[in-house]
Amino acid sequence: MFRYNLNSLYMGLNYKAIFSMGADSYLIDTEKKYKLVDPSPLENLIALYGLENVTKSLSRINPDGSKGVKLRKSYKNHIQDISGKHQIPPPKPIPMSLLDPGLSQMPDTIQQLSPDLLHKALKFEKTPANGIPGFNIVDLAMNDQHTLMRGDDALDNEDASLRKGKRKKKSQNYPDDIKRIHT
């Protein structure tokens, strides 16, 4: 009894004609006929082409069970002159949100804060008449000139000279310093 392939039935092929042609040919299209390959991949191709000596020299285990020639497991030496990356990075761990998609959909439980804690955290005091010591209200004002002067790229001349002076002092060697000579 023949098994029918649904894809072939759909294409309308004649199965009696296919099976009557024999096992040495395969009919894919009614117009074309394909023959088997010679030599067959089911044969021992290594023996057929005389490659036994090569396989014996490259085998990792000898027929008696002892270890054969130590071979490198990679082609790293052969591909070093080729540009690009030759080392495969280790796999990155899978985020837990991908492993458990329901985890990201769970709502965070919000605890109610005690009124005493809120009162302490949000307690404001009035500013003294003289202002806050050490705070300059000009720092809150913004205009074009003030913004340029306060930027990281532009420093005041006084600040720049002080910073340069500090750097010089740190890097200078003073003759008053006594250094011990190790003998």
Per-residue pLDDT tens for 2-58? 344 444 444 444 545 555 555 555 556 778 777 888 888 899 999 999 999 888 877
Two tokens at 146?
Answer: 């003030």
| CA angle (105 as vertex; 101, 110 as ends), nearest 5 | 140
Q: What is the pLDDT of residue 31?
A: 80
Contact indicator for 27, 18 with CB cutoff of 8 Å? yes
Picking from 22, 28, 25, 23, the residue whose alpha carbon sits closest to that of residue 8 is: 28
Q: Give the integer Cα–Cα distance in Å for 42 and 36.
A: 12
Q: What is the pLDDT of residue 167?
A: 52
Q: Give the integer Cα–Cα distance in Å for 34 and 26.
A: 6
- In the structure, what pLDDT confidence band is assigned to residue 154 with cuts at 50, 70 and 90? very low
Q: Give the integer Cα–Cα distance in Å for 162 and 170.
A: 12
Return the domain boundaries, the chain. 1-36, 37-69, 136-171
Residue 90, C-beta contacts closer than 8 angstroms, at least 6 positions apart: none
Picking from 42, 22, 23, 26, the residue whose alpha carbon sits closest to that of residue 34 is: 26
3-state secondary structure of 67: strand
Among 42-46, 54-58, 97-101, 144-148, the minimum mean pLDDT is found in: 144-148
